[in-house]
Amino acid sequence: MPACSANCGKNAILKRPKTGDALCKECFFEAFENEIHFTITRAKLFTPGSTVAVAASGGKDSTVLAYVLKLLNEKYGYNLKLVLLSIDEGITGYRDDSLETVKQNRDDYEMPLKIMSYKDLYGWTMDEIVAEVGRKNNCTFCGVFRRQALDRGAMLLKVNYLATGHNADDIAETVLMNILRGDLARLNRCTSIITDSGDGIPRVKPLKYTYEKEIVMYAYFRKLVYFSTECIFAPNAYRGHARVLLKDLEKVDPAVIMNIIQSGESLCVNETANMPTLMTCERCGYGSSQKICKACTLLEGLNRGLPRLGIGKSSKVKKLIEQDDLKRSAAGCCKSKNKSDCGNCACNKNEIKRDLSKAVEELKI
């Protein structure tokens, strides 16, 4: 077995994908933690005295993120207050177990935990959504809803930052995916270490340059408890293709991951490219590239019984809604008459559920 590249005299236990160095356990821990510290300080990621919500799924990335942030906060005196924020999508047999792991994190790392559910925020669980839309586009719903759920949760907790566990492999995968889709707006911003969704809470990615392999090895050697599963609905997710491609490339040369991230960072989108402008959703007030944000469109589709409404081109949405309004008007539904009088359909109920003030009350922060 080779000796540690740091010349400490111990045997190496890991070959670093980024550098090719062979390190012993102690030198690996130090290098791993120091690099994250360096990423945080170089980007001036956190203002001292602020509160940071760690988006916690119970998986490897968020578990390692919570552990390392706590460790660095104490070691380097960041003076941060750390809290855990979890989203319960309402997927029976999947999230139930991982939320138990998050509760374990809460106890182990002594951080307060807030769990927000899709049911509270949107009136629908993922189980109910899948029953409605089938398994082809369900990941669209889940992804769009989760993003906003985290924003809403962060706002309710009145935190200054939302930290997510996106690692180097995730970012490289996203760059590839945005190229494959020709999504220039996302390609332009997906490598940012800090993103601000309108006047929302800044999202930060402290593990942006950390390889997935090292995260898993770190968790293994530190004996951190995390939950891993495959989402029972996930096999249809598009992201999987980009992932397989990236993992195959990484096997040939692990540097491709860092190279893709660097390419994404230095990339400058041509001025003539058609870029959407960021505005606020007329309905919920969150940042959006359309008048009505994706989450509200998807939700309206669900509530109208037109689950495919938000899938595909946004230009078709208006037409579909007009057609549906005409139908409802003929049937005497509230969508075209006085809302409060309506007893014919479920649309009233679900709109109330989406009211943020109600969510605050329900959650009792």
Partner 1 sequence: MSGLNITIEFGGGAELLFGNKKKQEVILPAKEGEWTLKDLIFWMKDNLLQERPELFIQDDSVRPGILVLVNDADWELMDTVKYVLEAKDKIVFISTLHGG
Binding site for partner 1 (CB under 8 A): 1-2, 11-15, 22, 57-63, 98, 101, 169, 212-213, 215-217, 220-221, 226-231, 234, 243, 247-248, 250-251
Q: Which residue has the tokens 């490598």?
A: 191
Q: Give the three-state DSSP class for 72.
A: helix
User: What is the b/e burial string over 297-320, where b = at least 16 CB atoms within 10 angstroms of the residue's CB?
Assistant: bbbbbbbbebbebbbeeeeebeeb
Least separation in angstroms between residue 4's CB and partner 1 is: 11
Query: Which residue lies nearer to partner 1 by CB, 105 or 148?
Result: 105
CB of 15 to partner 1, least distance (A): 4
Contact 285, 296 (CB under 8 A): no
Record the tokens describing residue 293, joined without a space. Answer: 């944000």
Closest CB to partner 1 among 71 and 249? 249
Residue 162 is encoded by which pair of tokens?
A: 């939302």
Q: Cβ closer to partner 1: 58 or 90?
A: 58
32 or 226, CB closer to partner 1? Answer: 226
- Cβ proximity to partner 1: between 119 and 239 the closer is 239
In the bound complex, what is the minimum distance in angstroms from residue 65's beta carbon to partner 1?
11
Q: How many CA atoms lie within 13 A of 281 on its CB side?
A: 15
Closest CA to 205 of 38, 39, 15, 21: 39
Considering the complex, state which of residue 196 and residue 253 has its C-beta at the smaller distance from partner 1: 253
CB of 114 to partner 1, least distance (A): 17
Q: What's the rounded Cα separation, in Å, for the pair 218 and 182?
A: 35
Smallest distance from partner 1 to CB 130, Å: 17
Checking DSSP bridges between strand 203-204 and strand 194-195, what pairing results, if any? antiparallel
User: How far apart are CB 13 and partner 1 at their closest, in Å?
Assistant: 4
CA-to-CA distance for 165 and 12, rounded, in angstroms? 27
Residue whose CB is less far from partner 1, 58 or 301: 58
The answer to whether the beta carbons of residues 238 and 177 sit under 8 Å apart is yes
Question: Cβ of residue 84: shortest distance to partner 1, in angstroms?
Answer: 13
Task: For residues 64 and 60, give the distance between their C-alpha atoms in angstroms, rounded to a whole number.
Answer: 6
